[in-house]
Structure 1
Amino acid sequence: MAFQHIELPSCGISLYESKHKEKDRVREHHHAVHQILYAIEGRGRITIDRSSYEVAQDNAVVIAPYTRHSVISDSRLTLLVLAFDEKSLDSFVQRDIMNKFFKKSRYFTLNPMVSGELRQFLRKILFEQSQRFPLGSYAIKIHLLHFLLVLARFQEAPQHTDTNTLRAERIKHYIETLYYEPLTAKDISSRLGISTRYVNNIFKEQYHMTPMQYLAEVRIQTAKKLLAETDKDIATICFEVGYENLSTFYRVFKKTVNMSPNRYRQLYQPVD
């Protein structure tokens, strides 16, 4: 088994392309650093410590240091390889994320929402590498951390066998973690690759409301907590929970809670 040295830049992180023709074989080898292989196109197989896994578009494989692995392409196979030295990460990342979730090699079959998030972080890393901005190395580390967080949360998420139940749970989790972004029903349906009408139907069947109604509920519940527990300005709370203007925030809050944000704060904020 061959040891292959991977030359990393000073930031300790590198993202690069690995292209394979049909029937190509990368012989068994290992590295001293972590690798994450992300399939962009094609099909193949990867063997990790003599266990074989099918690799297709949007599958990911985390390869821990010194793990024996090889790659065989059934067709033209394009991988993005995210290589990094764990020692380049902050100590809390090493302790709470790397040691807990990525100490061993692991294969991931990703759902469309998770793969969509991961693709965006890979694009951001590629952009920072190409531009060479003065603070680019810090940006790359941040994007890598986000990438690892998404994968770690994916490991912790409950798994369902029913397809529609699984989809509804993914939508719910997606809203709960990204409620502060300008989400639309179209955004969610495009992530899942199904129609907006179908998204509404399967979510409503499971949770008795549409995804956009649930988004408003999550935002308002978060706003209520901030109103009662902090002294933040209402404009700041409006911004923090994802509304672009105060008038929309006031309208949705009053419709949901049957009172204005100011009145809610007066009633529920503890008096010193």
Structure 2
Amino acid sequence: MGQYFINSMSKSHFKNGATPQLVHMCNVETKHTMWPRVLHMHEDIMEIVFIKEGSGCHLIGEKKYSVCEGDILIYNSNVLHDEYTNQDQNMSVYCCGISNLHIEGLSANHLVSQNQSYVLSSGEKREEIENLLQVMFSQVQKGEDGYEETCHYLLSALISIILQIPQENSSLPREEESILFSQIKSYIDKYYREELTLASIAKDLSISSYYLTHLFKKKTGFSPIQYIMRRRIGEAQSLLMNTDYNVTMIAGIVGYDNPNYFTTLFSKIVGMSPKKYRQLWSISHS
């Protein structure tokens, strides 16, 4: 038996004592992670994803990560990410949406800096982290009196434990290749709704189409055209979840004049039609 005393003067991770708020909590089983949530970002929240089992590949910011069970994925606000799992590996995850996160030295709703890895291995802290997430999900699911306050404190504990994990510095080398890739990606992210072609991108950036494709696929795993499609479909998924816009309107917003082509492409990438996707999302969040 051991007795330990707490240092009451220890400094908080949270700026000005402002603690984070839990916005949503999901326990996503295998059958749902098989439906990809393609390129998207969150402007006013950040997300923490914990992989309970399985493996996959995720594009977060400007880096592609191979992830496996026990890993923690950090999606800072305003950072693009793409979730494409290995369907043979039966991935299941916990996911927390968080607002009002203010960590000393970081932008609002950022848990790690852009120079650090967006994927952490939970290592010896796996059991603690998974248990906290399990209790949080149970509290939200049951919705008993006071569950909001319970989750509020559990979330602060979760983030504090994650911040105890040594973080790898993964800053990109500022060589010419990395600088050029950043320029290409920024250009596409800005104009992805417009009628972009490989030739038009290459011309505007004054590089060859071949080198553009080679470099972009090396960094992301996608060709520029595949990336544009996923960027558009990811935005369409967000609109289907968060608005009442019809499919034709959404197709036009993300850059497709032909709603039938949009529906075909959406079904190919996501595994179901836009209408079915909205229905399933509504049912799972009702």
Q: What's the TM-score bracket when you normalise by the shorter of the two chains? A: 0.3 to 0.5
Instruction: Provide TM-score, normalisation by structure 1.
Output: 0.46
Instruction: Provide TM-score, normalisation by structure 2.
Output: 0.44
Greater length-normalized contact order (CA 8 Å, ≥ 6 residues apart): 2
Which protein shows a greater Rg? 1
